[in-house]
Structure 1
Amino acid sequence: MSCGNPHETDCSDVLDRVYAYLDGELDDDWCGDIRRHLDECGPCLQEYGLDKVVKQLVAKSCGCDPVPEDLRARVMSRIEQVRVEMVENIEAERLTP
């Protein structure tokens, strides 16, 4: 994904790492790169906000229960499908005169 604007860190790199960022699994350099990118990129910030809300809802609903790996894989697959659809919609809107 790209919002069409130049960024120091590419949109696709940010979105590929957003879950690791939310989980606190990235080093300080990546965290800084992602924070700076989200500060300047509206589409990625919107995507990050959606991901953050979904993650918080799942954490609240599931508590400390372990999540079956097949369920996690299905949820991640569906989130990726939605992300791709959103990117396609954003790009289609940009190309529509």
Structure 2
Amino acid sequence: MSNPDPSKMKQDCPEKNECLKMLQLILDGEANSEQKENFLKNHLEECMPCYKNYHLEVAIRQLLKTKCCKDAPQELVDDIKTKVIKNLAS
């Protein structure tokens, strides 16, 4: 994924919920290669909210991995996801 030009990106995503689901599939390793490529190389290059969400989710996951000696408890992961989605929806 390259660094897209923010001035050329959409500032709102009409498919926000579907994109959040796809983002989770990709980061959980559950998306197939076509889904992953389409989302990362096409959609993120033109959609600022999804671009930011992707990088936020990656940062959260990396932080959790460095702060937890094991996998983060699923309850914690779910709680963080819920809060992030609430903040994105507002």
Q: Does 1:43 align with 2:76?
A: no
CA positional deviation for 1:17: 1.8
CA gap of 1:24–1:68, structure 2 versus 1, over 3 A, is closer
Letter in 1 for 2:51: L
Question: Is the 2:44–2:50 Cα contact (8 Å) retained in structure 1?
Answer: yes
Counterpart of 2:80?
75
Structure with the greater relative contact order (CA < 8 A, sep ≥ 6): 1 or 2? 2
Counterpart of 1:90?
none
Q: Deviations over 1:20-54 (max 9, x none)?
A: 21222210111012111001212210121111111
Instruction: Choose 26-35 or 65-74, whichever is displaced more.
Output: 65-74
Give TM-score scaled by structure 1 length.
Answer: 0.65
**Structure 2 residues not aligned, in runs of 5+:** 1-10
Radius of gyration: which is bigger? 1
Separation of aligned partners in 2, 1:30 and 1:19: 12
Give TM-score scaled by structure 2 length.
Answer: 0.69
RMSD: 2.3
* Runs of at least 4 residues off by over 3 Å: 66-69
CA gap of 1:82–1:11, structure 2 versus 1, over 3 A, is closer
The percentage of counterpart residues that share the same residue type is: 23
Counterpart of 2:17?
12
Q: 1:60 aligns with which of 66, 80, 86?
A: 66
**Structure 1 residues not aligned, in runs of 5+:** 86-97
Separation of aligned partners in 1, 2:67 and 2:13: 37
Aligned residues: 79
